A and B are shown apart, each in its own frame.
Chain A
Amino acid sequence: DGGITQSPKYLFRKEGQNVTLSCEQNLNHDAMYWYRQDPGQGLRLIYYSQIVNDFQKGDIAEGYSVSREKKESFPLTVTSAQKNPTAFYLCASSMGRPNGYNEQFFGPGTRLTVL
């Protein structure tokens, strides 16, 4: 079964700690994305990666970091510099066709709560 997985589903963190959210896909997609979702707001892009070993900042990258060492994996680290990290985090992937149909497939999400 092809798909995109995120773990864990729920994550609790103390203030001042870094935490890493996992995202894996077996769809052979080139592009991967991280979004943050807050109540009553749309999805805001944190980071995206078009290809292995390359990634770009999205609209709200401050306090976050990523890596893309493998095509299948795009982990997101929420650092202590992120002022308000409690949110629902969604990972997505797509074939990344230039200027073409570019459906994004989403994982089930990780809900991060800072205590």
Chain B
Amino acid sequence: GEDVEQSLFLSVREGDSSVINCTYTDSSSTYLYWYKQEPGAGLQLLTYIFSNMDMKQDQRLTVLLNKKDKHLSLRIADTQTGDSAIYFCAVTGGGVSGGYNKLIFGAGTRLAVHP
């Protein structure tokens, strides 16, 4: 079935850029999402990209999509301590009856920002 992989940890210095990577297997994924989870909380959507785009920028966030390599990345510019959280990549896949697409989540990358 569909698989989504992420590295588990990333540590960066405050003010540097963070790059979180994700690879997936289902080339038919139409939407790809990045979610953020703070400790003990639910997930909140950070940004998403449609599969016919290569790049999307939203303030400090830049999403890059390489469809050929099935690789998605999230770049956070000027990383702050408030960015410390777990970041999940999710892709549409494993379509269900009626056409509604499930989301397949990666294991999450824990980002630690230090002074």
Contact = CB atoms under 8 A, between A and B. Distances in A.
Say if A and B assemble together.
yes
Contacts of B50: 101
Contacts of A106: 35, 42-44
Contacts of B103: 102, 104
Nearest to B43: A106
B8 A40 contact: yes
B97 A56 contact: yes
B41 A109 contact: yes
A90 to B, nearest CB: 6
A6 B42 CA distance: 10
A1 B8 CA distance: 34
B102 A96 contact: no
Interface stretch (A12-20, A43-51, A75-83): A43-51
Contacts of A100: 30-31
A99 interface: yes
B45 A103 contact: yes
A105 B63 CA distance: 20
A50 B96 contact: yes
Interface residues of A, number: 29
A53 interface: no
A100 to B, nearest CB: 8
Interface residues of B, number: 29
Contact of B40 (A92, A96, A101, A109): A109
Interface in A55-89: 56, 58
A31 interface: yes
B42 A40 contact: no
B19 to A, nearest CB: 19
Contact of A108 (B30, B42, B45, B88): B42
A42 interface: yes
Given A103-B45, A106-B42, A98 B106 contact: no
Contacts of B99: 98-99
Contacts of B82: none
A111 B31 CA distance: 29
For the complex of A and B, the 7 pairs showing the least CB-CB separation, nearest first, are A98-B99, A106-B42, A42-B105, A43-B105, A42-B107, A106-B43, A108-B42
